[in-house]
Structure 1
Amino acid sequence: MSGSLQGARVAYRLRRICEQVGALTLTLDILASIDEALDDLVALGQRGVDAAEILRLTPYFGTLWPSGRGLARWLATLAADRPGCLTGQVVLELGCGLGLPALVAARLGARVIASDCHPDVPGFLAGNAALNGVAIEYRALDWRAPAELAAMREQLGALDLVIGSDLLYEAELAGALGPALDALCGPNTRVLLADPGRPHLQVAVHAIEARGFTSRVEIAAVPSSLDDPAVHGERRPPLQELFMLELRRA
């Protein structure tokens, strides 16, 4: 099944999929092709839209990346091991994109706030939340911006859980994640992050620990992304190894 969604600058062609996460089955609309969306953005450049705006609008969020899958499964496993552990919890997802982990947390009874800074994320998230019969609050947030973090903490109060997947794809983000978590997390906030082994991961972990967090790491393997060559190339691996990090205040 396919459809379309109008974004800030381009219309996206969609593909509807079912994603099994533990005992949960979720329905999501994702990009039919990242490459196709990139071609549409390049065409905007030929009509005078500047390169910085095109980069800002690049919709890499629009497919299911392995880290998002891994984080969603981690949440489902936690709930299977301790039924009801997410019920009533206040959960914030950073850089939510399509929001698969946010959708899973909401299905498991949490109050979920999903955040991102891409202008086209809210449309995707609202559609996918409706498809799965859950309510998810959305906040525009650039977690590199201290003022935005302070406003978020004031609005939301105490958070039980902060989650994020594949947040460290640029060196700048590795340096910003520690201050962001320090600003958002209270003394009892737990943090769950999934990362595919980005070069900046260890730098980020050291910076987070320097701000008074303890870390625990597990290795997991999840199915790699769907059949979009822009994600893994034509020869995509069947499984992706992930680093799963649990962080708490020391």
Structure 2
Amino acid sequence: MPLIPEILLHQADEPIGLWELTEGEFRSEQPPPFWAFAWAGGQGLARYVLDHPEVVAGRRVLDVACGSGLVAVAAAKAGAATVRAVDIDPLAIAAVGANAKANGVTVEAVCADILDGPADADVVLAGDVYYSQSFATRMFNFLRRARKAGADAYAGDPGRAFRPQAAGTEVASYDVPTTMALESVTKKHTSVWRLP
């Protein structure tokens, strides 16, 4: 990934073919293979964490809706005390394990839906999570509860339609290289938001 050359990431070579093989227009119960791609919001958040290691250094970090584990790997590389990556897709959890191993870091990967419970972390990171109304609402409520409980909370977002108006303070922005197949553009302007 040009924006994050210090991280190795296993990704799908051809996104549309993999999507059709694993899910195919919602024809099965299997969720789409979000874990197989480095989405712009996750890339921007990973870049921010690597550029600002003080955000996670020595702290307990949670990467929620982690997908491939890109942000979790960045947090581990930046010196987090512990990193837990959580996703509802068991294939994402396998991808996290492979990507952590490829980068020589330790990440605890957990398959669960934790959005209705506590974060149990010092820092909560969420990359590219505002892609549908229902999920964005649940995620934002989770991040706000984590923040009220004392955790720092950051979200990487490339201008998705369902980013909450009260997303927080923009702390960084990047032009993230992407593919036409995933985003219909070759660069996606992406912001990192810190919840107030």
TM-score (norm 1): 0.69
The 1:87–1:220 alpha-carbon spacing in structure 2 relative to 1, beyond 3 Å, is closer
The 1:217–1:122 alpha-carbon spacing in structure 2 relative to 1, beyond 3 Å, is same
Code of the residue aligned with 2:88 in structure 1: it is C
| C-alpha displacement of 1:117 | 0.8
Q: Secondary structure at the match of 1:28?
A: coil
User: Quick check: 1:200 aligned with 2:153?
Assistant: no
Kindly indicate whether the alpha-carbon contact (under 8 Å) linking 1:143 and 1:176 is maintained by their aligned counterparts in 2: no
User: Quick check: 1:103 aligned with 2:85?
Assistant: no
| Residue number in structure 2 paired with 1:188 | 150
| Residue number in structure 2 paired with 1:241 | 189
The 1:242–1:51 alpha-carbon spacing in structure 2 relative to 1, beyond 3 Å, is same
Code of the residue aligned with 1:101 in structure 2: it is V
Q: Secondary structure at the match of 2:61?
A: strand
Q: Secondary structure at the match of 1:133?
A: coil
| Residue number in structure 1 paired with 2:132 | 170
| C-alpha displacement of 1:218 | 4.0
| C-alpha displacement of 1:60 | 2.5
Choose which of 52, 55, 62 in structure 2 pairs with 1:92: 62
Q: Report Cα offsets for 1:148-181 as digits up to 9, x if no partner.
A: x24xx5xxx4x21000111010010222123312
Equivalent positions of 1:139-154 (< 5 A) are: 139-144=110-115, 146=116, 149-150=117-118, 153=119
CA distance in 1, matches of 2:102, 2:37: 16
| C-alpha displacement of 1:197 | 1.1
User: Quick check: 1:68 aligned with 2:42?
Assistant: yes
| C-alpha displacement of 1:199 | 1.7
| Residue number in structure 2 paired with 1:32 | 13
| Residue number in structure 1 paired with 2:27 | 51
Q: Report Cα offsets for 1:100-129 as digits up to 9, x if no partner.
A: 111011012211000111121111111111
Kindly indicate whether the alpha-carbon contact (under 8 Å) linking 1:57 and 1:119 is maintained by their aligned counterparts in 2: no
Higher relative contact order (CA 8 A, sep 6+): 2
Kindly indicate whether the alpha-carbon contact (under 8 Å) linking 1:219 and 1:241 is maintained by their aligned counterparts in 2: no
| C-alpha displacement of 1:133 | 0.7
Structure 1's consecutive aligned runs of 4 or more residues displaced over 6 angstroms after TM superposition are none
Tell me which structure has the larger Cα radius of gyration.
Answer: 1
TM-score (norm 2): 0.86
Kindly indicate whether the alpha-carbon contact (under 8 Å) linking 1:19 and 1:26 is maintained by their aligned counterparts in 2: no
User: Quick check: 1:117 aligned with 2:68?
Assistant: no
CA distance in 2, matches of 1:74, 1:165: 11
CA distance in 2, matches of 1:198, 1:172: 13
Kindly indicate whether the alpha-carbon contact (under 8 Å) linking 2:72 and 2:83 is maintained by their aligned counterparts in 1: yes
Code of the residue aligned with 1:171 in structure 2: it is Q
Code of the residue aligned with 1:61 in structure 2: it is W
Q: Report Cα offsets for 1:22-43 as digits up to 9, x if no partner.
A: xx71211111222111232368
Identity of aligned residues (%): 23
CA distance in 2, matches of 1:241, 1:174: 19
Q: Report Cα offsets for 1:61-88 as digits up to 9, x if no partner.
A: 2111111110011111212xx5xx5332
Q: Report Cα offsets for 1:217-238 as digits up to 9, x if no partner.
A: 245123222x4x43034xx33x
RMSD across aligned positions (CA): 2.5
| C-alpha displacement of 1:141 | 2.7
CA distance in 1, matches of 2:172, 2:56: 23
Count the aligned residue pairs. 195
CA distance in 1, matches of 2:74, 2:85: 12
Which stretches in structure 1 are left out of the alignment for 5+ residues? 1-17, 207-214
